[in-house]
Structure 1
Amino acid sequence: MNQGNISALQMALLLFQSVLGSSVLLMPSITTQLSGRDMWLTPILSVGVGYLVVWLALRLYRLSPDGTFGALLEAVFGKAAGKSLGLLFILFQLHILSFVARDYSEFIVLNFYFKTPVVIVLASMILLCVWVVRKGIEVLARCGQLFVPVITVITLLVFGLLIPDLDPGLIFPLFEKGVSPALKGSIVVDGWFCQLFLILYLLPRVKDKKAAKRWGYWSVTAIGFVMLSANLTILMLLGDSTSHYIYPVLTAARYIALADFFEHVEATVMMVWVLGEFIKISLNFFVVAVGLSQLLQLKKSDALVVPLGFVLLLMCFRSVRDYQTLAAFISTTGTIYILIGYVLFPLLVYMSAIVKRTVKGTIKVR
């Protein structure tokens, strides 16, 4: 699992889908509740956070190019404190992953498989992700290279087919209630962009490090473009009523009907969601497994994957009771929680490392 290399493009595709896997379906509804008609501006206001997180991850990687994030924590804060912080960070990532996996299962059960127990949907996806992670990063990267372009093309095609039904007038008036609603909604979108911190775990396996920096920033730009397209399309189709739909993109897809034979596009949306969440969950699961094996200094981390799969399944039911709990978490405390874990904490580590390197002249990372 710890072996294998990937290209910078494959890395960018994995990052791209890890953010968009759940944001496209959920974001329009949540941002409309917070920002009203200015919801389409939220990706523009938040894209800077994506660039910041990629820059921060690149800087942390420079401090420990041959080590790991856990090893850097030990070098900066000492062995005992470093290991404790590393374990807390892994638990944080596993907690976030449980919300991602439960979000996937809730969408499938609420919209398509009404009588299927949630545990069956969850267990089947986690089992597939366990198998892929055990095969290694190269297999996951090739899955991303195969599926992500298909997912992106189909998503943009759905938006394109809705163009005849769009009303640009629904965008106006801009800043009807001032700038604060747009800023409030952008904080939620920041929570998705900050998940780009996972690039730190992919950089050691990227063959071309110089290209990785360029593709990392390009992935942020591409994510912002797709988010903007989704918000504009849904707003011009549904207007203020977007906030009343749980999955407005799915609702919008049901509007599509061409020549009385091209219909039921929502089935395609389900396919895109399943493929996208497969990539997102697998990447996050890979990061958790690798991080824990590095913390425990295991030579072979394959043995951790299956037990972690069972732990994840249990946490999915422990952390999230239902969709209402999930939506409330994302739109309120969850965003702050994610920003602290993926932005403020790494920034604190980076600043502490710079101070220690300035004082002692170097940082020894195992």
Structure 2
Amino acid sequence: MNERISGRQFALMAAYVAIGDSMLVLPSIPINDAQQNAWISALVGLAAGMMVVWLLSAAGRLYPHLTLVQAAEQLLGKWIGKAVSALFVAYLFLSIGAHTREIGDFLTTQMMPETPIQAIHIMYAGILAMAARLGLETIARTGEFFFSFFIVFLAAFILFLIPDIKLNNLLPVLDGGIKPILRGSITMTAYPFMELAVLLMAIPAVRKPQAIHANFMRGAFMGGAVVLLIILLSILVLGPDYATRSIYPSYALAKKINVGRFFQRLEVILAFMWLLTSFIKSAIFFKVLQTAIAQTAGLRTEKRLELPLGMLVVCFSLIISSNIIDFHEADHYWPYMDMTFSVILSLVLLAAYAIRRAARRKGTTGSGNKGKD
């Protein structure tokens, strides 16, 4: 990987991946499980998620000059490494297809109901292909440029919602016990944090490998804090019942804004923030998918893969589910797929590294003793 990004850009990429589509579609899931205690689920998920990021960072620092695909082949051997890489490629492809479908479902149900979803998917996949052609460095710089706008819009969004906050929506606390809270924390851990495994493919591009851990943790915490804040606002403003029934609680929050009967229905603020974070996240996934395919297949270059990948993404996004309700049924099993390619894969790589290191030390010690004899 010849591209180079700064530690700050890597941290912001982690923040974008953590926020991404989670800002719009995640809040209703833990609220459905834990009701008014979903903010506690979010806190638990944030703590667990930071441990996941620590694990990902540890795995990424084993070989900071290698991508995840290259490190898997280095540690697990050629054939097992290729098999793991192929499964990781399939995971990336499924994720991009799901992100594209979320964009299409949101725009056709909330903003442009008369527009065919196929047209939205084609345009979105085309933009992702263009971003991949420009490279990871360009994507990182774009995210860095727009992040200040995102913070300003987020601050305005929170400020305008303060008059509608009802603290009674948080009561009663812990009335359903601990099980619903733990159930709600699963998705809060998976969607913002476990999907950060994608950045293990971008670590070789970071200019200062020694700063990877700090930036990884900082960016992930920033993104998790934003998601936690959105979940808390959804409960405080909408109430747990309304937030559970809504597919897009944060978009419903934007409709509540009414300041002096002048600033009203500022859904465009939320739509801009979500489309921005979702696009940067999808662009990172698309570029990483392109690189992973090239390295797994042993191609000399990853160029010219953008168009066929874009076409495949469009086709898959249309057949992934029959409707929006069916699509959101994936929330029951998707976190476990995220766990497989983040927690389990990282543990496997760390274990393989420890075994190889122990075997190397044993071989060195044995050679030394033999020489003395």
- TM-score class, shorter: over 0.9
- Spell out, residue by residue over 1:222-257, the C-alpha distance to the aligned partner (whole angstroms, 9 max, x if none): 123212211111101111221011111111111112
- Spell out, residue by residue over 1:137-190, the C-alpha distance to the aligned partner (whole angstroms, 9 max, x if none): 111011101122312331232122111111111101111010111100000111
What's 2:171 paired with? 172
Matched-pair contact (CA < 8 Å) for 1:161–1:256: yes
Alignment of 1:359 with 2:363, yes or no, is no
- 2:109 corresponds to which letter in structure 1? L
What's 1:346 paired with? 346
Distance 2:3 2:73 in 1: 26
**Mean Cα deviation higher: 32-41 or 72-81:** 72-81
Q: Report the RMSD for the aligned CA atoms in angstroms.
A: 1.7
- 1:283 corresponds to which letter in structure 2? I
Matched-pair contact (CA < 8 Å) for 1:14–1:141: yes
Q: Secondary structure at the match of 2:175?
A: coil
Distance 1:145 1:90 in 2: 27
What's 2:121 paired with? 122
What's 1:235 paired with? 235
Matches within 5 A, 1:176-191: 176-191=175-190
What's 1:201 paired with? 201
Matches within 5 A, 1:317-332: 317-330=318-331, 332=332
Matched-pair contact (CA < 8 Å) for 1:8–1:212: yes
TM-score (norm 1): 0.93
Question: Where does structure 1 lack aligned partners over 5 or more consecutive residues?
Answer: none
What's 1:308 paired with? 309
Distance 1:285 1:349 in 2: 24
Q: Secondary structure at the match of 1:162?
A: helix
- 2:247 corresponds to which letter in structure 1? I
Larger Rg: 2
Matched-pair contact (CA < 8 Å) for 1:3–1:136: no
Matched-pair contact (CA < 8 Å) for 2:255–2:266: yes
Distance 1:89 1:214 in 2: 25
Q: Secondary structure at the match of 1:298?
A: coil
- Spell out, residue by residue over 1:178-233, the C-alpha distance to the aligned partner (whole angstroms, 9 max, x if none): 01111000001111111122221221111122333212111122123212211111
Distance 2:347 2:202 in 1: 19
**Offset, 1:56:** 2.5
- Spell out, residue by residue over 1:90-148, the C-alpha distance to the aligned partner (whole angstroms, 9 max, x if none): 11121122111111111111100001111111111111111111111111011101122
Distance 1:55 1:251 in 2: 34
- Spell out, residue by residue over 1:62-106, the C-alpha distance to the aligned partner (whole angstroms, 9 max, x if none): 322333322222233321222122111111121122111111111
Matched-pair contact (CA < 8 Å) for 1:25–1:249: yes
What's 1:271 paired with? 272
Matched-pair contact (CA < 8 Å) for 2:30–2:38: yes
Distance 2:309 2:196 in 1: 22
Matched-pair contact (CA < 8 Å) for 1:234–1:252: yes
Distance 1:77 1:3 in 2: 25
**Mean Cα deviation higher: 142-151 or 108-117:** 142-151
Q: Secondary structure at the match of 1:63?
A: coil
Distance 2:353 2:135 in 1: 31
- 1:147 corresponds to which letter in structure 2? F
Distance 1:142 1:8 in 2: 12
What's 1:218 paired with? 218
- Paired-residue identity, %: 24
Alignment of 1:144 with 2:156, yes or no, is no
Q: Secondary structure at the match of 2:5?
A: coil
**Offset, 1:361:** 4.1
What's 2:69 paired with? 70
What's 1:156 paired with? 155
